[in-house]
Each structure stands twice: as C-alpha cells, then as structure tokens.
Amino acid sequence: MHINFKQEVRHSKFAMFGIVMLLLLLIIAIFGPLLTPYQPNTQTPFAFEPPSFNHWLGTNHVGQDILSQLIYGARTSLLVGFSAAFLAIILSAIIGTSAALAGGLYDKIVMRIVDAFIVIPAIIVIILVAAYLKPNLLVLILLLALLGWQDGARTIRAQALSLKELGHISAARSFGAGNLYLIFRHILPDLVPILLMGFIYGVRRAIFMEAGLAFLGIADPTTVSWGMMMHEALDFCYLNVWRWWLIPPGVALSLTILSVTGIGHTLEGALDPRLRSEANA
Amino acid sequence: MFTKRNTITYAIAFLLILALNFLLPRMMPGDPLMAIYGNEALIAMTPELKAHLVERFALDQPLWQQFGAYLLALVQGDLGHSYYYNSPVSSVVLGRLPWTLLLVGTALIISTLLGIVLGIESGWRRGSRRDKSLLVSLMTVSGFPDFFLGILLLIGFGVTWGIFPLSGAITPYSGLSGAALVLDVLHHLFLPLTALTLCHIGASYLLTRNTMVTVLKNPYILMAKAKGLPDWTIRYQHAGRNALLPVITRTGIQLGRMVTGAIFVEIVFAYPGLGYLTYEALLARDYPILQGVLLIVAFSVLIANFLVDLSYSKLDPRIRYAH
C-alpha cells in the first residue's frame, strides 16, 4: 500500500479544489476574531438590517452581525469535524488492529458489536441523546466520535488481517516481536492511507451531523454554527432576508462538505486500483 | 451460518437501542417522570395520576424491574402517552407514517432508477465529456446537505416564483376529492421529493458507474461487440444488467439514510411525516413522542437492513460461500 499522495492530489482538480478551500476556511477560522470587529453573540437593537458597509451581510432578528456569525461558524464546523473524526479514527484503529491481531473470542465479540453499531442509524440515536443532554461542544464531539468509529474499525481490521500474513510481519514475530510492537512498528505505518481516508470521511460526517443537529435546534444555543443560523433564518424565509442570512451559511456548509468530499474521492480512487487510472484523469 | 451471525448482530443492535431508550430519561437529573413524560405532563399532573404513572413504570422498583415493565409495555404495543397531543403515541405516529412512506418510497424508486441509468451512460464511455460533466454535477449535488437543497428549492420555487406550496402535504380545509385530491397531494409532494431524490441519486449513480467499469472489462462484452450487436443492446442488456446487482441490494441500505434524510427535508417543507413530528416533539419537549418515533424509525431501518442482508446472500451465491 504505497501511494504517492502528492502526485495523486496534484493530478486531480477536485482534490486541489478541496485542499485550497479547506486551507482558506482554516485561515478564516483561526484568524476569525481579527477579521470582524463584532462578537457573533452580541445582540443589538439594530435587527434585520440589510447589508451595508458596517454589516457586510446585514444583521439578524436580534441584531447580531451575520458575517461574524458566518466566520465563527467556520470555527465550530471545523473544530467539531476534525476533532470528532480524529477521536473516531483513533478508536477505529485501536479496535480494528487489536481485533485483527488478537483474534479468537475477543475478535468475535468485538466484531459483533461493530456490526451492531453499523446497522444502527447513528443520526437517530444522536438526535435522541442530544435532545436529552443538550450537549455543549465537547459532549457533541465525544458523542459524534462514539457513534462514528464502527465503519473505520471494520475496514482497518480487514486490512490489518491481510497485513498480518505478510512475510515481514512473521519475520518480526519470529524474532520475538510482541503484538504492541508489531502494531506500532509494522501495521500502523502501512495503514496510514486507510486511516487517512477514514478520517476524511469522518470529518465530512461530523460536519454534516453537527450542522444537522444545530439545524434541528438541539445543539448548544450559545455556540454559533451554520446549522443554527439556517435554523433561525428559515423562520423568516418569506422576507427577503434569506439572501444574506440563509444562503451564505448554506453555501459555506456545502462548500466545506464538497471540498472534503473532493479530497476523499481522490484518495478513494488512489486506493482502489480499478478506479486508479481515473483518479489521474 | 451467515444468517445466524446476522441475527446475533441485529439482536445486539436491537438491545442497544432499547437500552438507550430506556436508560436516557431515567439517568437524567431531576424527576424521571418529567424526563419520561415531558413538560406537558407536569401541568396535567395530579397526585392520583402521578401514583398511577409511578406504578405503571415501576419507578419505585429497582432498575431491572423497571426495564421489565418497559419491555412488557412495548411488547403490548404501548409506546406511551403523549400529553401534548393527549393521545397514545402509537396512534400519533401511525397517523404520520403514510406521508413519510409516500415521500421516502417515491424518492427511493426515482433516485435509484435515475442513478442506474445515468451510471450506465456514464460508465459506458468513462472519461468522455458526458461522463465528466455527469460525475461533477452529481457529486456536487450529493455534496449538498439535504436540508440546504430543500431550502434552495423552497426559496426558488415556493417563495420567489410561487409555483409550489410552501408547506404541508395537502391544502387544508379544501374538501378536495378524487383526481383533484391526488393532484393536490402531488403538488405538495413535488419539492420535498425533488430535494430528497437529488440528494440520493449520487450513491446509486457512483456505484453503477464503478461497477460498469469492471463489467466492461469482461470478455463477453468484447464478444458482444465482435458479434456486431448494436451499442445500446450491449450497454443495457449485457453490461448494464450485470452492473445492477450491487445497486439493487444497496438500495435497501440506502433506505436507512433516506429515512433520516427525510427527517430534515420534511422539516424544511413542514411536511407532516415522522421527521416533522420529531421536530415538533423536540420543540414541545414531548419526550414520549420523540422516543416513540425514534424507536420505530430505528427498528424499521434495522428490519430493512436485515432483509437486505438476507436477500443479498440469496441473490449473490458468492456471498453465501464466502462465509
């Protein structure tokens, strides 16, 4: 599994678009407070103002600056997406590799649980839990990670199982290498492409779900997020405020998900030899 | 073997969902009655009612006996009572179910058929201009969050041009019947259906296209070409037909994603199905409804997946031998 990522990505316009977009978003998210003079949560008496020099995207129903909300929304989206996906892929890696290497009863039990998690519709469980817990950002990230590791664990286990049979692994084992050593020294490095892909799709999933929950109005109301902006703006869609209130967060969210998809699709093409020639097209 | 393993998987999933549904309200700080029955119940609460509810849910008993009482009620088809609607949860849910079935069923069929046809066309000449433009546009559309796609359609066709109604599934108090009623329902269905369909074409399209790529490499395609068969016969009868199997079986898996997608689309259009019911329950903190809907949806998705898994091993003998 040795793939030249740089080359694959450079040859795909879709992936280049994704990476450039994500970097741009990252910069906006990091330097957000420098880009806007307003706090996204400060309510002012100046509600429903159309775009002007002071408020590029106008203000919402409680007089908050929409552009600042959009910028801070990028922070929420990326923070939740990346950290939930990161935690989830770590969980997948631990569970997948340990099941593959330990085998036996442990493997059997773990895989039944993995399968059960795969068939459970995650978003429904998350809606239910979120309705009760009213999660803040940290709880939300943990929740998304806890319900997002199963697919990765299955792929990683399958890959680790085939890696396990390779010559250099049995050679290392015959020299007395333990399971942990094998995992960190030989298995994990070869799993990097799969981990990366699981991570990318995890990011997309988490961003999507965070936005969905906020759109349903069950995320933390003090955290500014694109989903929440759309939730609030939808109530006023009969006014023409949707042009600067409803569309921008939707476009931002779609572009973010699209750029993550672009990167993921290219990686997937690179990993699947049948589609390989196409990834270079 | 395959079936047995599957059954265990689904039994575990079933139990996990049940346990979550049972434990969540009982683990909340404060009065469990409030968490089980929601705000509305407390207003109607009298000491007698309270005593009755405590007894029915065995709330004064240890946790495992409470779980027993909970299971017993479920087995009897009792999903609880909504004090917001002042009727049993099961009847509220059943009243909304047909709308969701209509929306999801139609969207599933249309998006799968369209995805297959477009996938076959796309995979037939991979790398051609038509393939590339199809790929890019479908990937773009399916990258949109379903609710945003719905919002765009709502603003465009509903608010700005006023071609389609903004919300609901039928015109209220119109007293329509017969053909006029059907037209009215279709008129209301169009926008949510389009949103849901557009969001889900991508999956079956990509799968068909990728399968076509593999199928087209088979010798029998070359043979068919050598026989001088017309293009479309090879495309649809030889290649397309063989690319169909994974798509058809995946359609069932799609069902789960579709139902959850429908939740968001229904909210945008205030379409009175289970999704919108969920939203109303969230707003009213009507926990019995919330629990009931999510339990039913989760179970339906589980059952659909289970049936797909079963048929998958029946349809494709390779799967059966692999296990």
Q: Where are the alpha helices (DSSP H) in chain A?
A: 5-10, 13-30, 32-35, 66-102, 104-119, 122-133, 137-146, 150-164, 167-174, 179-182, 188-216, 226-234, 242-245, 247-271, 273-279
Chain B residues in contact with A123 by the CB 8 A cut-off are 260, 263
For residue B89, CA distances in Å to B81, B86, B92, B190, B283 come to 5, 9, 5, 29, 16
Cβ partners under 8 Å of residue A166, min gap 6 = none
Q: What is the pLDDT of residues A154-187, one digit of tens each?
A: 889 988 888 888 888 888 888 888 888 888 888 8
Q: Which two tokens stand for residue A110?
A: 């773990």
Is the distance from CB of A68 to CB of A219 less than 8 angstroms?
no
Beta carbons within 8 Å of A2's beta carbon, 6+ residues apart? none
Which residue type, as a one-letter code, is found at position B151?
A: I
Q: pLDDT, tens digit, for every residue of A30-72?
A: 887 877 777 777 777 776 777 777 777 777 777 778 788 888 8
Using a CB-CB cut-off of 8 Å, the residues of chain A touching B5 are 112
Q: What is the pLDDT along chain B (323 residues), one digit of tens a residue?
A: 456 777 888 888 888 888 888 888 777 766 666 666 666 666 666 777 777 777 766 677 777 778 888 888 888 777 777 777 778 888 888 888 888 888 988 998 899 899 989 988 888 888 788 888 888 888 888 778 888 888 888 888 877 787 777 777 777 776 777 777 878 888 888 889 998 998 888 888 888 888 888 888 888 888 888 888 888 888 888 888 777 777 776 776 677 777 778 888 998 888 888 888 988 888 877 788 888 888 888 888 788 777 777 776 666 555 555 44
Cβ neighbours of B298 in A, within 8 Å: 120-121, 124-125
**Length of chain B in residues, anyone?**
323
Report residue A54: phi and psi, to 5°: -75, -40
Subunit contact A254:B298, Cβ cutoff 8 A: no
Q: Which residue of B has its CA nearest to A278?
A: B127
B283 vs A: CB within 8 A: yes
Measured distance between the N- and C-terminal CA atoms of chain B, rounded to whole angstroms:
7
How many other C-beta atoms are found inside a 10 Å radius of the C-beta of residue A71?
A: 22
A269 in Cβ contact with A279 (< 8 Å)? yes
Are the beta carbons of B147 and A230 separated by less than 8 Å? yes
CB contact under 8 Å between B13 and A265, yes or no, is no
Q: Mark yes or no for CB contact B151/A120 under 8 Å.
A: no
Chain-chain contact of A212 with B147 (C-beta, under 8 angstroms): yes
